[in-house]
Structures are given as structure tokens and as C-alpha cells.
Chain A
Amino acid sequence: MDLTAKVRRRCALRALTATLVIAGISVGCGPGGSGDRDGASQPGRDAAEGAGHTLEVWTPESGNRLQLVQQRAAQFSAAHPDVKVNFTIRDFGSYPAQLKLALASDSAPDVVIGNLGWSLDGPLIKAGTLRPLDPWAGRYGWDKRYPEVAQRQMRFSADGKQFGRGPIFGIPYAADVIGWFYNVGKLAALNVSVPATLAELEAAFASARRAGEVPIMLGNKEQWPGLHLFYLVSNDLVSDREINGIVFGDRSVQWTAPGFVASARKLAQWNASGFITAGTNSMPADDAIARFVRGTGVFLPTGSWNATQLAATMGDGVAFFLTPPVRKGDPSRATGSVGYGWHISTASRQPDLAAEFIDFMTQEAFAIQLAASGDISPLDLGERAPAMPSRLAGEIFAAWQGVLANGTLLPYLDFAAPNGAEVLYPTVQSIMAGAETPEQGLARIEQSRREFLDSL
């Protein structure tokens, strides 16, 4: 028989085998479960043989924070010569999809960053891909490390149905708060002082517009930055009870409440008045920051995670404040969180090593490092807080401390459901653009939320 036939036979044989395997498997198990739900093993050292260990770590982190995290991880490797830490980094928008695929694959990572509430943690926990961390929490003292109010965001019921109570699932390392960065020089040039009320803020926008400046620099291509702008308004116009109710699943609270409608309407007004960058819908968030740094835009509404990059490039030319209250003198309310946390995957074969890694990454020493670089820590550093590296960092730190002290920290509304990308973000974007009315959009968001709550 000539060569072609032999080759053909071999190919056919291989294909046949593959077919039989696949056919057999697909016939045998239709949709089925494979989630390994055995509980965490007793805390102790994983059997460490001579061969090296690799910890697979996934994170959506970027910029300065990512650098610090990777440096800290390198220190961990240095202290444990047989351990290598391997990072996989994805951009924030693609992260949830990519992480879910990875967790379900054969090469599931050991340690992963999640995102609070039902935005990512909930679905992952419900699918059984994350381990409850209580056994290690006791051992390493994680439940003593964080203030009680913070722990609410770290807890989830083991069936993934209730956010805010149950075992601890994630250990955070960098807190965040959303506010207004502003170009000091430009504000001074407008003869405007730092706004003390919401009305003054809006007046500042108008002044900027008249002077030919871009009042609000916003890059909304990914659609969630617009939601952050919404938060800055809802901080003032929506009650604590309503915001917490949406986030923690209280059915008596609805998105169609007057406070939310007013906030959405204000967003649309600001856009219609030309306060928001033209081309915001096709501008990536990072682009907006880059332009702000290069000198376009008076105000940049975004989170404290960008502080280090801004301070590094603009020095004292950039400063920060939280959304001013409606009534002068009231404390500022701010949207923020203790930060997304490190989780251990159920599939991980080295949970103890993973726990040790997580503890190392969230210790006070690292928190001090973060604070020294201009980021905020979820830990109460008290006397041990380092010197602030920039005026900007100082302002953010003071704002964060103030919010904690006044108890005016509000959780992110997109913790409330896992389908933010499908409903919440695009709807806020279309309300802002005037493509639909606040009532229409909010009604749709509320309906989607109802469907989600019903499905739990």
C-alpha cells in the first residue's frame, strides 16, 4: 500500500479515536455538574516535596497597583524558594468572562481576584468554584484584621444566595473611594474655589464650559465609568436605606424610586448642557485619564485607584474632593469599598499554600506600602500610617478616614447583580445620552433586577 493510504489510515484512526472519546463522553453526560464542593482541608502545610510549586494567580489589576502587587509576590517567592508565583492579567472588562472560562478549565488558577457582591463573587460562589476561607481566617486572624462594617462586603452565604452574611470568601488589600479629581491650575484660572455644595459644583461646570474648557472628562466606552459618575450624583440624592437595599437584595427598595430618577435626570442634563466630553461613548477610560493628564478637562470623576498615576504625572497640579453635599456643612457621602478580594479556587490543589500567599499579600506591611504609594488600605493603620507621598494622596486618605468616621460609606450599586454589563451599564449610558428617559431606563433596570432576585 502506498504512502497516501498509510497516512490516511493513521489520520483516520486518530480521528476515529477522538470521535469515539468525544461521542462517548457527550452521550454519557449531558449537561452535568463537575463542581468539586468538598470543604477546605485542615489548615496545615501542604505536602511539600522536593519539586517546586507554582501558584497560578489571576488578577484584573493594572498600573501602579499591579506593580506593587507583583513586587510583593516576588518577595513571597524569595522567602519560599520552592514556590513560583505566576500572574495572568486581563483588562477589567474582559476579566469576568475570561476568569469563568479559566476556573472551569483543567488549568484552573489557585488564587483569583473577584469582585464584590453579585458582580462576580456571587456567581462564582454559587457555581462552587470558590472556597470559604473561615478555617484560615481563624488561623491568620483575618476576621480580626478588618473592621466589622467592611466584613459585610467580604461575606457570602455558601450557596451564593445571600450577600453580606455567611463565611468569609475574599480577603481585600486595597480600598477605593470614588470622587472628583480636578486640575488645580484650571480651577484657579476660572476663579472658582473647591465646591462646597452640589449647586456650587454645577456652577463650576457651567463656568468651565463658558471658558471653553471641558468640564467633565469622562471616557465611557466600557460603559461602567458612566455608572461611577451616576454614583457621584446618587451619593447626594438617594438615601442610605435605598442604596443598601438595592445592593443587599432588599425587595422593598426599587430602582424606580424618586431619588434614582432625579440622579439619572441630572446626568442627562449635564450631558445635554455640554458638561461631559464629546466622544465619551467611544473613549476608553484610560484614554480619558491620559487626556486629563495632558491638560484637557477640569474635573475627572473616577476612583482613588488612579491616584498614584495622577500624582506621578501631575504632581501638585491635581487634587481631589468627594461629591459635596446638597446642604452646606453636611458630611460628604461617598461610594467606595474595602476592595475586591483574593479568593482560593475550589479546584486548587494547594489551598494551604494559597492561604499563606493571601495572608502575605494582605498583611499590614503591604498595606503600609500601598498607603505610602498613594493608595488606600482597608486596614485601620492608625499611628503606623506612613507619610503621604503627595498632597493628592493625603487628600484621598483624609476623605477615606472621614467617610469611615462619619459612617457615610456607600457600597457600589453594581454589586447587586451579575449582569451589569448587559443591563445596568448600557442603560445608564443611554439615559446619559438622552436616548431614553430616566423613567424608561430605570424601569428596565428594576425589571432585570427582579428577574435576578427571583432566580436566586
Chain B
Amino acid sequence: MAAVTCQDIRELFSARVDDALSADEGARLDAHLATCAECAREWLHFERTVGLLRATEPARAPAGFVDRVMAARPRPWYRRLARVVLVPWPVKVPLEAAAIVLVAGLAVMVFQRSPELQQAARPSAPPADVAAPARDVPAPPPGGTLLLHDPTPPRPASAPPAASAPAPASPSEPGRRGEAALAEETKLRPAEPAPADARKEAVVESFRQSPESRAKSATPPDAAAKKAAEPDRAGPAARQSAPAPAPLALQKSGDVQRLTAATADVQARLVVADRVAAERTVRDLVTRAGGQLVSRTDDGTATVLALAVPGDRWDDVKRDLENLGALRLEGRREDRTGLVRITLRLER
């Protein structure tokens, strides 16, 4: 073993002052100090210096410091918002406009979530075009629906009317109405209710069903969810040849957003430092909770995830989300059974 130098010994001074020496090092230091007067003097000075530092009176913040910090603290967002919206009074006109938009949105949402209303609206719809939904909206554009339609190239509007059956009086009647682009699908699935409304309802139903009941039911709703989760990967050809009709309905991101916003129990906004990492974590925790990602859109500034989570796991998922960043929730789900549908907006 090499001889211990004074320099080696002095390197141990700090650790000795902080009681961080091992027993061996301590013994070595003591043995050296007992025989080396120079190092012993250095050690005394070192110890005294640290002692002087530690005897320094703690600094105290000036009087009124806490009040000044509290006053400088930014106001909560809702107070800032209230200030912007309500003061000065002339600004209340936009508030009225916002109220009208809100009421209209609520009306649409209530309509979409009420099967009775939709059923009532169906007979009054034009019967022929299966791509257009049977709604009481005046003159709907061909192929343009309130929620969903297949964004494949326009199908011939002059599909032979003879091939199309009248609008089904009951859901049990097979949809064999003759739109050219859907003909192949109906050939593949003659018993499938092919109309766009039926497809939309299948997807909506997939939100409403519990994972267990979905697993028991036929595959299209699940397939719809998986397909919708990757809307950008499927090209038009892939969409046209997709075996299940439901996925076709969710391939347009706007449609997905409208659907998920309309059907979500909870609207959530999560501000995170890293959107990509947060999305990965969200996917993992939702999967672990037995839920699934239904759709995903990204507009460059935010990532919107439509999620479905078993009701009894929602509290766990919510807690995990709170750990990821600043979470703001709108809408509540008290029911602990069935699925909780969440629209989660990830922002930086």
C-alpha cells in the first residue's frame, strides 16, 4: 500500500467535519494527526472555519415579504376570465353570443345522446340515399352528415334507386339499399345494417357498452375503436376494403372529434411539459386500467385523445392523470358501472 501523504489526509477534512468518514478512514486520519503537527494545526483551522460558517445567524426575509409575494401572485384563471368577460359591460354582447352557441351545442348533444329523438327523426328523413343520415335537418348535403361519413371519394349520386330498399321500418331489416360504394360491403355482410346512421349508432354503442359486453358482442364495435385510433394510417383503399362498416365511420378526424366530444362523460384538459411522453403514459395507464384509446387527433398544438375507461377504474386513471401535469376536468361521472368516456386534450 502506498504511503499516506499529508495531502491525502487533508482531503479527508471535509468528510470528517460532516461525519461522513468510514471507520477505516477515521482511524487513518486520527493516527496521522497524532503524529503530524502540521496537519493537526491545519485540521484545527479547517474545523474552526467551518464552525464559524455554521455559527452564522440565519438570514431573515424582510418584513412584509409574504404579503408582497401573495400580492404579486397571478390571479386564478377563473378570476382573470371573469374580469375579461364581465368588465367592462359593453363586452357582454359576445357573452350573449357565446350563450347562444352553448345552448345550440347542448341541444345537438342532447339530440345525439337520445335514441328516442333519433328514432323519431328517422321516418321524416329522405329514404333513398344511404350515405346521408336520416335526420330532420333540412336538405343535408350528399354524404355530409352531422357526425359521420366515409371520407372516400364521392360515390355516384345516381345509384340505381331500384337497388335501394326503402328506409327500414325496424332495425331488424337488413340494409341492402343500393349505393354503389356500399354494395360491396353489403355483399360481404348481407345481414349488416349498412346505413350511415346504423354505423354511427354502432360506434356510439361501443362507447356505451362495458368492455365485457363489448367483448361478448360481435367484433365490429371493437374494430371500430381500433380503426378510429389510427385514422391516418388507413388510406382510402384500405378504408374501402375494410371488412367492418363501423371503422369506416370514424376515419375523419373531425368526425371523431365531434363524436367523442358529443359522447364523452368527461372533458379533460391536461397541460404537460412533453406531449409525446404524456400521450405514451396516458395510453399505458388507460390500457392498464382495462380501458382503451378510441381515437386520436393532433392539430400541432394539442393532442386530443378519446378514451374509454371502466367506471370502477376511472378514479385511479384520474389520479394518474393528475400526476402527469395540470389537469382540468369538466363533466362528472358518478356512475361507477359501465364505461367512462373521456375526451382528453393534451397541451404544452
A binds B: no
